[in-house]
Homo-oligomer: A and B are copies of this chain.
Amino acid sequence: MLTIRDIAAKAGVSVSTASRALNNNPRISVATRKRIQALAAAEGYRPNYNAKNLTAGEANAVGVVFPTSDRNSTDNPFYIDLLRGINTELMKRQYVLSVAISKTAAELLENVKAMVAQGKIKRFVLLYVHQDDPIAAFLREKQLHFVTIGEPIDGNDDYFVDNDNLEAGIGGASFLLDQLAVKHPVFVESGHEWGYERQRRQGYERVAAQFNVEPLTCKLHDLEYVRSFIEHHPEIDGIMATDDFNAIEFYRLVRERYAVSHFPVVSYNHSLPTGLTDADLHSVNLFPEKMGSATVSLLFGDRQDKTATPRKQIRIPYEIK
């Protein structure tokens, strides 16, 4: 394995000069810096990060924490795209993505603690928002950087990346009522009262008021409930749902009762394969990969220019097509 000594030797300089050159230390003349960097690249030198981390006292890793159970959470393609966005950005910084995931909250916390104590990881991403989360509390106490995906709900002033769900709700509802000319929309949500659902619903309600329509809402509790709901609301002529799965689930039940087709639907996340539903489905793209890259830039305290105060939150815009 090629070490920095080898590079130093081949370049005819001392190890420390090589080290400084490779780290772009201004104390080394630009000429030798370039020369040594070129040499290292040519020889295929790769620094040993265990050694770097040992001296730095900090690992080149970001801990990404999954919620304990996501069976009821926002859907999964979203997570995967988010991971992709995060990791692409981390690679540029020569960082690695480590995940903490477990079935039990206790084990998960232990996982994070091990990352901190044994792994010297100092930056984390929480892929969820919980009330009084012990992991967030631990990270705060240890004064470590972390960013949550989704706006905090417990009043803590944490860094976060989110969509503007209120705006997305307004946009989606406007699209449904205006472009798709729906007169009797229904808002379909999971029944878990997630923050993003509430916010999108508020957007929906606001637009409904503008259009003078009654803001009808249905939670997907169970089959009987929804069937009965649909039975009592034959007037429904369009769906706005908090995600694609809720949308097709409800639509399926509508079709079961009434002979409709090309039914106007607006939902979120862009997570279905196309062509397999006859609904006129417009899924709002929330750009999870962009959220991932924004997360990283928040995590590392990027700023537009030096004078700008660092931001604590980033909202990613949406797109309806």
A110–B275 alpha-carbon span in the complex (Å) = 35
A69–B154 alpha-carbon span in the complex (Å) = 36
* Closest Cβ–Cβ distance, residue A318 to chain B (whole Å): 20
A276–B54 alpha-carbon span in the complex (Å) = 53
B87 touches A99 (CB 8 A): yes
Query: With contacts A54-B54, A114-B91, A118-B94 known, is A276 near B222, CB below 8 A?
Result: yes
A96 touches B119 (CB 8 A): yes
A84 touches B102 (CB 8 A): yes
A30-78 residues at the B interface, CB under 8 angstroms? 46-51, 53-54, 59, 61, 66, 70-72, 75-77
10 A–B contacts, CB within 8 A, in A order: A48-B120, A70-B77, A79-B80, A87-B100, A87-B102, A91-B110, A96-B119, A98-B99, A99-B99, A223-B278
A107 touches B80 (CB 8 A): no
From B49, B80, B114, B252, contact of A118 by CB (8 A): B49
Query: With contacts A50-B54, A51-B54, A223-B277 known, is A99 near B83, CB below 8 A?
Result: yes
| A256 at interface by CB-CB < 8 Å | yes
B120 touches A101 (CB 8 A): no
A207–B98 alpha-carbon span in the complex (Å) = 44
| A20 at interface by CB-CB < 8 Å | no
From B47, B120, B255, contact of A255 by CB (8 A): B255
A118 touches B255 (CB 8 A): no
A213-249 residues at the B interface, CB under 8 angstroms? 220, 222-223, 226, 248-249
A61 touches B117 (CB 8 A): no
